[in-house]
Amino acid sequence: MTVHPILAALRRHKAGVTLITLQIALTLAIVCNAVFIIGQRVERVNRPTGMDERNLFLIEQEWIGAPSADDPASIEKLDAMQRSDLATLRNLPDVESVATISSLPLLNSSWTGGVGLKPDQQHGTANAAYYFGDNQMLKTLGLHLIAGRNFAAGEISHRGSRGTGEPPIAIVTKALADKLFPNDSALGKTVYLDGGATPTTIIGVVARMQIPATGRWGNSFAWNSVLQPVRLDASYTRTALRAKPGRLNAAMREARKALFDANPMRVMENQPDIGIGIFPFSEIRARAYRADIGMAILMGVICVILLAVTGAGIVGLTSFWVGQRHKQIGIRRALGATRRDILRYFQTENLMIAGAGVVLGAILAVGLNLWMMQQFAMDRMSLLYVFTGVIALLALGQLAVLAPALRAAAVPPVEATRSV
């Protein structure tokens, strides 16, 4: 089939053709970028924290009437209270292991600092988040130790949460180890935390552990974590617990009851906005990513509606054109064109319009991505998204044109002899 008659016919509908081309182009540009954003959000939400998240839960509580000063006596009192709580929890039948810890990945409450290679270094070599806790951290969180060893029970020190002092030993993540010592094993090496002068020796490396912050400011060091063998003493405590497999809910109930039985003077009712309560890790994860998930769903819904509107637009417009050309179709049929010829005609016509639309749309899609990179600090979109979008819209066009084109093919040749 030659395209010349199609072009000639289209020239008589300049405005309509331009509009539908524009619509296809804009749809392609928006859908490509929206799907790209959905993909990014899904990737972000699915990145593993490095922990074994099943059966993991967190207790955040505050004692009432506990000492709040920073003097040694108060700190000892608080430490005794904390150790007593830990012992209570470790005795529970459905609890596998218990660790005191200053924060958790995705909790968005963090201690961060610079890790340097020399003492009194103004600029840290790498930024990192600190986790303070005891020797049960690795086991309870399910972290994967790939080199060196865990802390021993006797190596855990304790201090007030406002105190200072860098510990003599620490465990770091592989990401941080590679950043600090790119050509060498980090094990046994000395680092200086927070621009201090006290050396800290790396005794272990874990495969992966995300930092608590999920905001954009943490993106540059999302995998740089330092585990410090320090039990922080304050009237507010965080404790991570691993329930025995399948016993998560039971363990959470037991923990709440046991802690209240041991000492009722505490606040532990769930109030996630001020960081108090007992939460399964799945809930902490959902809280951290709810905006991303909401955004992905919204983008998805808009994409589907947009494609439906554009598809319906093509159906409507082609239907009009078929209706308008009834007589001409009849004439062509009478002159010997087969039904298939008529069908092909409308399919080819749609392919040409959609083809022009997707070419323009691909340019718009890339342009929109560049604009969003400036405005919203987006990443560069892979051309694969544009390519897939092009195929999808061409397919949508063919699908939408099918019904009106079939109707056109069904026009009988006798139509040519009828007037008006």
Partner 1 sequence: MFGYYLNLALYSLKRSPVLTGLMVLAIGLGIGASMTMITVLHVMSDDPLPGRSTQLYYPRIDPQPLGRGDTNPHSGDNLTWPDAQNLLRANRAERQAAMSAGSAAVYPVSGDGQPFFVPGHYVTADFFPMFDVPFRAGGGWTREQDQQRARVVVLGADLKRKLFGDAPVLGRTVHLKDADFSVIGVLGAWHPQPKFYADLDHGAFDKDDQFFLPLQTALDLSLAFRGQLSCWGSGGDSRKGPDCTWLQFWVQLATPAKAQAYRQFLDDYWRQQQDHGRFPRPVDARLYDLMSWLAYKGVVPGDVRMQLWLALGFLLVCMINIVALLLAKFLRRSGEISVRRAMGARRRDIFVQLGIESALIGMAGGALGLLVAELGLWSVRQRPDAYAHLAQMDAPMLFGTLALAIVASVLAGLLPAWRACRVPPALQLKTQ
Among 1, 87, 291, 399, binds partner 1 (CB under 8 A): 291
Residues 142-161, mask of contacts with partner 1 (x by CB under 8 A): -------------------x
- Give whichever of 207 and 222 is closer to partner 1, judged by the CB atom: 222
Q: Establish if 373 lies at the interface with partner 1 (CB under 8 A).
A: no
Measured between alpha carbons, how far is 155 from 139 in angstroms, rounded to an integer?
16
323, burial (CB in 10 Å: exposed 0-12, middle 13-18, buried 19+): exposed
Backbone torsions φ then ψ of 225, nearest 5 degrees: -120, 145
Among 9, 207, 250, 295, binds partner 1 (CB under 8 A): 295
| Max CA separation in the chain (angstroms) | 108
Q: Establish if 127 lies at the interface with partner 1 (CB under 8 A).
A: yes
- Give whichever of 245 and 367 is closer to partner 1, judged by the CB atom: 367
User: Residue 303's closest CA among 124, 4, 38, 68?
Assistant: 38
- Least distance in Å: CB of 309 to partner 1? 5
Q: Which residues pair with 238 in a beta bridge?
A: 60
- Among left, alpha and beta (phi > 0; psi -120 to 50; other), residue 411 is beta
CB contact set of 124 (below 8 Å; sequence gap of 6+): 113, 114, 115, 116, 194, 195
Going by their DSSP bridges, the two strands 56-63 and 277-280 should be labelled as antiparallel
- Least distance in Å: CB of 78 to partner 1? 12
Among 10, 22, 45, 262, binds partner 1 (CB under 8 A): 22
Among 250, 267, 337, 363, binds partner 1 (CB under 8 A): 267
Among 289, 321, 345, 346, binds partner 1 (CB under 8 A): 321
215, burial (CB in 10 Å: exposed 0-12, middle 13-18, buried 19+): exposed
Measured between alpha carbons, how far is 19 from 371 in angstroms, rounded to an integer?
24
Among 23, 140, 150, 210, binds partner 1 (CB under 8 A): 23
| Residue environment code for 82-100, b if the CB has 16+ CB neighbours within 10 A, otherwise e | beebbebbeebebbbbbbb
Among 187, 207, 258, 306, binds partner 1 (CB under 8 A): 306
- Give whichever of 89 and 129 is closer to partner 1, judged by the CB atom: 129
- Give whichever of 322 and 342 is closer to partner 1, judged by the CB atom: 322
Interface of this chain with partner 1, residues 165 to 204, rule: CB under 8 A:
194-196
**Residue 225 in contact with residue 209, Cβ under 8 Å?**
yes
- Least distance in Å: CB of 76 to partner 1? 17
- Token readout for 234 is 């304050």
Among 98, 299, 329, 354, binds partner 1 (CB under 8 A): 299
Among 1, 7, 42, 69, binds partner 1 (CB under 8 A): 69
- Taking the CB of residue 205, how many other CB atoms lie within 10 A of it? 21
Among 20, 51, 137, 390, binds partner 1 (CB under 8 A): 20
Stretch that binds partner 1, among 25-33, 137-145, 330-338, 343-351 (CB under 8 A): 25-33
How would DSSP label each residue in 1-34? --SHHHHHHHHTTHHHHHHHHHHHHHHHHHHHHH
Three-state secondary structure call for residue 62: strand
Q: Which residues pair with 97 in a beta bridge?
A: 242
Q: Establish if 64 lies at the interface with partner 1 (CB under 8 A).
A: yes
Residues 386-405, mask of contacts with partner 1 (x by CB under 8 A): --------------------
Stretch that binds partner 1, among 50-58, 59-67, 138-146, 344-352 (CB under 8 A): 59-67
Among 36, 131, 192, 221, binds partner 1 (CB under 8 A): 221
**Residue 389 in contact with residue 31, Cβ under 8 Å?**
yes
Contacts with partner 1 by CB under 8 A lie at 13, 15-16, 19-20, 22-23, 26-27, 29-30, 34, 37, 62, 64-65, 68-70, 112, 122-123, 127, 161-164, 194-196, 217-218, 220-221, 235-236, 267, 269, 271, 273-274, 276, 287, 290-291, 294-295, 298-299, 302, 305-306, 309-310, 312-313, 316-317, 320-321, 323-324, 372, 375-377, 419-420
